[in-house]
């Protein structure tokens, strides 16, 4: 149990093509920042579209979100869900981790049966679809890296290592 947290789920689009390595670089830098604010999160990327969940103290999540909105590398940052007063985190393992949906194993195990590529782009605007896909992918990432998805205390908010990010 912890003090109440807020959870945001949002969607954004890259303005121009970026390499996997550069996106992972953004993720690790962001994770370091999130960790200092006791914020945890998880994001997925497909075709330049990001879905991201952020959880933590309301003020910290709000101020990080405002900085993300101002980031010129992406645009159309749409807040899809905001759930306040939560007593446990759904995405607590990493301060931020990033999975690429076009990773063959992830696509085969999690996404392919739910959605085609075009379908993903369209349905990613739907809050229920976005949260569901983030949850499934988070669980896949935890299982693939042997980490318990349920987190408490110091186990929360890791900085992702290369082996946690699956696509090297
Ligand atoms: C898709 C995406 C997700 C991001 N997520 C986070 C995040 O969770 N936390 C964070 O501090 N910065 C995140 N950033 C980076 C911020 O937008 C911003 O560049 C960074 O916090 C540095 O801000 P500053 O230059 O004002 O210090 C993200 C950027 C992108 C493009």
pLDDT, tens only, 34-67? 999 999 999 999 999 999 999 999 999 999 999 9
CA angle at residue 63 from 60 to 67, to 5 degrees? 135
* Residue of 68, 95, 157 to mutate, ligand 1, most atoms within 8 A of C-beta: 68
Between CA 61 and CA 56 the distance in angstroms is 6
> If we measure between CA atoms, which residue out of 168, 21, 27, 42 comes closest to residue 105?
168
**Secondary element (H or E) of residue 11:** strand 5-14
User: Residue 95 has what pLDDT?
Assistant: 97
40 lines ligand 1 (CB under 6 A): no
Is pLDDT of 1 > 80? no
- Structure tokens, 89: 């985190």
Residues 80-93 pLDDT 10s: 999 999 999 999 99
Predicted pLDDT of residue 77: 97
Contact 74 CB / ligand 1 (< 6 Å): yes
Our answer on whether the CB atom of 77 is closer than 6 Å to any ligand 1 atom is no
Burial of 76 (0-12, 13-18, 19+ CB in 10 A): exposed
The full set of domains in the chain, from first to last, is: 5-164 (3.30.70.100)
Separation CA 88–CA 156 (nearest Å)? 11
Q: How far apart are CA 143 and CA 146, in angstroms?
A: 5
What pTM was estimated for this model as a whole?
0.94
Q: Could you tell me how many residues make up the chain?
A: 168
Q: Which residue has the higher pLDDT, 77 or 162?
A: 77
Give the residue-averaged pLDDT of 5-32.
96
């Amino acid at each position: 149990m912890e003090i109440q947290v807020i959870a945001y789920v949002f969607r954004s689009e890259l303005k121009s093509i970026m390499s996997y390595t550069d996106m992972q670089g953004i993720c690790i830098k962001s994770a370091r920042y999130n960790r200092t604010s006791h914020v945890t999160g998880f994001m997925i990327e497909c075709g330049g579209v990001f879905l991201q969940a952020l959880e933590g103290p309301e003020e910290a999540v709000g101020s990080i979100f405002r900085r993300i909105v101002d980031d010129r590398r992406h645009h159309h940052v749409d807040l899809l869900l905001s759930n306040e007063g939560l007593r446990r985190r759904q995405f607590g393992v990493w301060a931020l981790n990033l999975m690429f949906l076009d990773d063959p194993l992830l696509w085969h195990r999690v996404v392919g049966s739910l959605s085609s590529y075009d379908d993903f782009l369209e349905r990613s605007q739907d809050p229920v679809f976005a949260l569901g896909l983030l949850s499934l992918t988070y669980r896949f990432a935890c299982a693939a890296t042997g980490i318990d998805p349920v987190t408490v205390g110091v186990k929360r908010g890791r900085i992702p290592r290369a082996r946690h990010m699956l696509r090297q």
